[in-house]
Amino acid sequence: MVVAYLIKGWAALRRPKTDGAPLNTRVTILIAARNEEELIHKTIEDILAQDYPRHLVEVIIVDDHSTDRTAEIISSYASQGITLMQLKEDKPLNSYKKKAIAEAIARSKGDLMVATDADCRMGKSWLSTIVSYYETHQPVMISSPVTYFEERSLFELLQTLEFSYLIGIGAAFIGNGRASTCNGANLAYRKDVFYEVGGFKGIDDLASGDDELLLQKVAVKYPNRIGFLKNSEAVVYTHAKHTLQEFLQQRRRWASKSTRYKDKWIVALAVAIWLFNVSLLVNAGLSFYNIFFFKLFLVQFLLKYIFEVAFLLPITSFFKRVNLVGLLIILIPIHIVYFVYVGLIGNTRKYSWKGRTVN
């Protein structure tokens, strides 16, 4: 069973032990920002409040052609060690974010790149927790947890539950020794390894994929040296989408990466999950004609519910949001429909991202 495999992978991850020795890794925090004037000051303040030695940290924020006050806000922190780079591309790109990150890495002085987003929040021990894990266990890439917070509606709470599932899947695969997915809002990797695998070369024609597709390139070279940092102090917090349109655009963007997954086993697994959800819809429809299909649908639905509760309980417990599991009975029917829908159109239609229409 797929979910049993995931449960096993999450359980295999333990809170990593560190030796408590002084930390000495030079770190570059990377952020690509576009039209983030509303929240970027909070992200910068959180980074400046980190308890990691300041002389070992540089922060590079690349402004990706913002049309608001983003660059001005970043510049106001120059005296506190925040470096502003401005992306200036005359020719249209499909991959502005990867270009921004690559240029920041080329300019960086750190040995460990730590990427996050311009609308994220983190605790004061976020960076020291990541580096402590890095120095103690020597992974070449670290995927760390991300969750939503400050939800304002049932819709956003449902997104938080679903997003916890996605983060759990990525962590579980790493726990099973088969790294495949991660989230770029909380991802660290060695600078030399980034160049060793060719950076974003070969995946730079896609707008998305600066996280998962890079991880998969690294996994080919270093299959056993990618870690998931299962530590609550390493969590990064961001926000769910406020509208259905924004949510669907985001999921189309995420789905667009799937055509480039190199691990065919992962692709086959994703297709199998999609087909299972299709079968749920088909059996629900056929229930109007024959009671047998209704019984089959109920069995499928019940199994899905039981196994997903079993998977989500420890994950939501880690995020201290166990109460969200109660929403699963509402989420599952919605998720079945949307998952099938996104699977159909995710690779066939353009989507909007940061005010641009991309493929």
Query: Which residues have a Cβ under 8 Å from the Cβ of 174 and sit 6 or more positions away?
Result: 9, 13, 143, 226, 227, 228
- Check if CATH label 3.40.50.2300 holds for domain 14-159+167-243: no
| Best CA proximity match to 257, nearest among 200, 311, 312 | 200
pTM: 0.90
Query: Which residues have a Cβ under 8 Å from the Cβ of 206 and sit 6 or more positions away?
Result: 94, 95, 213, 256, 257, 260, 359
Note down pLDDT in tens along the chain; length 359 residues. Answer: 678 889 999 999 988 877 677 899 999 999 999 999 999 999 999 999 999 999 999 999 999 989 999 999 999 999 999 999 998 866 656 678 888 999 999 999 999 999 999 999 999 999 999 999 999 999 999 999 999 999 999 999 999 999 999 999 999 999 999 999 999 999 999 999 999 999 999 887 776 778 899 999 999 999 999 999 999 999 999 999 999 988 888 887 777 666 667 677 777 778 888 899 999 999 999 999 999 999 999 999 999 999 999 999 999 999 999 999 999 999 999 999 988 888 777 655 565 556 555 55
- Domain assignments of the chain as residue spans, ordered by start: 14-159+167-243
Q: Give the Cα-Cα-Cα angle 321, 323, 326 (nearest 5 degrees).
A: 135
How far is the C-alpha of 239 from the C-alpha of 275, rounded, in Å? 30
> Is 69 in contact with 99 (CB distance < 8 Å)?
no
Q: Residues 166-221: pLDDT tens digits?
A: 999 999 999 999 999 999 999 999 999 999 999 999 887 776 778 899 999 999 99
Alpha helices for the chain (secondary structure H):
2-12, 40-48, 70-75, 96-107, 126-137, 154-175, 191-196, 212-221, 244-255, 264-286, 291-318, 328-345
